[in-house]
């Protein structure tokens, strides 16, 4: 059976991110989140606190400051993929 580790590069809408992570993990999959370093710390804290007890959610080790069309978007995605690989050894797809 496939176990997907979804990679979510995000920068706003903490409620939407929380809801999406809960829906994806309820189906038995995993979620790795990178939240833009330029976004509000309070929004990031809300996301982390809301998902802290969900073992199927992980976060990138650091928050890169992203710019539209810049390398930083690739960097953010790679940080989330690294977190997913480390946290979810049973994932079959990323």
Residue in 86, 91, 79 with CA at minimum distance from that of residue 37: 79
pLDDT at 66: 96
Residue 34 tokens read as: 């990178």
pLDDT at 1: 80
CB atoms within 10 A of CB 55: 11
4-18 pLDDT per residue, tens: 999 999 999 999 999
28-82 pLDDT per residue, tens: 999 999 999 999 999 999 999 999 999 999 999 999 999 999 999 999 999 999 9
């Amino acid at each position: 059976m496939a176990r997907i580790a979804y990679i979510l590069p995000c920068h706003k809408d903490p409620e939407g991110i929380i809801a999406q992570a809960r829906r994806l993990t309820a189906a038995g999959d995993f979620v790795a989140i990178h939240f833009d370093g330029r976004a509000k710390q309070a929004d990031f804290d809300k996301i982390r606190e809301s998902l802290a007890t969900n073992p199927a959610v992980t976060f990138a080790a650091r928050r890169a400051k992203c710019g539209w069309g810049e390398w930083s978007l690739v960097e953010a995605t790679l940080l989330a993929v690294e977190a997913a690989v480390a946290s979810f050894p049973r994932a079959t797809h990323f």
